Amino acid sequence: MPPPDAEQRMNIATDFYTRFNFPLCLGAIDGKHIRIKKPASSGSLYYNYKGFFSIILLAVTDSQGKFVVVDVGWCGSNNDSGVFHKSVLGQSLAPGTLNLPTEGTIPQTDIKLPFVFVADDAFPLKDNIMKPFSHRQLTREKEVFNNRLSRARNVVEGSFGRVAMMWRLLQRPMDVQPNTATDIVKAITVLHNFIIIEEPNLVSPCNSAGEQLQARNNLTGFQGSITNGINRSTNNALRVREVFMKYFTSPTGAFPWQNDQCVSVTRPTPD
């Protein structure tokens, strides 16, 4: 599928703010292992660390749950970190390579920040990828940020949950060659988008709890952290996240409901 153009990206960012109260967001990123049966004469090429054979899917969705970037077909034995950094998606997020809008202003403020994608702990923190704060010494401000990010990121989990429920062949190992499995997954993402656009009543809200559960149960997500010494978070990426956090807890950026979602002010460091 062709990547969004400049106007479409701005519309995506506007809709993320309207739906999920997360400004300057261009999409939600996630990765999954798609089960396949062991291909003939493939050895351990597709055997992943979770103990089954798979191909790897990386995807970005917009605020409505439509897939806007899909990169699928990596061998399951690949390290998740290596897949992300070598993938079309990972490389395209490098500065200046995806024709992304570089900077925007947070609504009702004069705060300028990069446009970003939202992701979970498995992905690296970068200037244009926001991930949650660690649960170590989690302050109320950090917890508010994590909750706001989670609301926006859940849209991609909902999309994976939907495709797992609507195309049940994803709930068991596909008995086809990896190239065919790759084509099937690509076709599913296109059909999924078509249904959202043309038959929205056939799908439930994209961040419903049931879909989240289905996404976790039927598709295996990335594990650990997609970081290494070379890709350590930059000081600017840390600064960008801090500015988002301060905005979310400011009188301008806060919402009454967000404090109700905070479990505690601080949490002890796990043993």
Supply the pLDDT for residue 259. 72
d(CA 48, CA 142): 33
**Is residue 260, in this structure, part of any structural domain at all?**
no
Both tokens of 76, joined, read 């399951």
Find the range with the poorest average confidence among 118-122, 190-194, 218-222, 238-242: 218-222
Supply the pLDDT for residue 263. 62
Q: How many domains does the chain have?
A: 1
**Is residue 271, in this structure, part of any structural domain at all?**
no
Q: Which residue has the higher pLDDT, 98 or 37?
A: 37
**Is residue 19, in this structure, part of any structural domain at all?**
yes
Both tokens of 186, joined, read 């690509």
d(CA 264, CA 271): 18
Q: What range defines the domain where residue 171 resides? A: 6-254
Q: Which residue has the higher pLDDT, 213 or 29?
A: 29
Mean pLDDT of 2-10: 87
**Measuring CA to CA, which residue among 134, 139, 123, 110 is closest to residue 247?**
110
Whether residue 59 has pLDDT greater than 50: yes
Mean pLDDT of 88-103: 74
**Is residue 265, in this structure, part of any structural domain at all?**
no
**Is residue 105, in this structure, part of any structural domain at all?**
yes
**Is residue 47, in this structure, part of any structural domain at all?**
yes
**Is residue 187, in this structure, part of any structural domain at all?**
yes
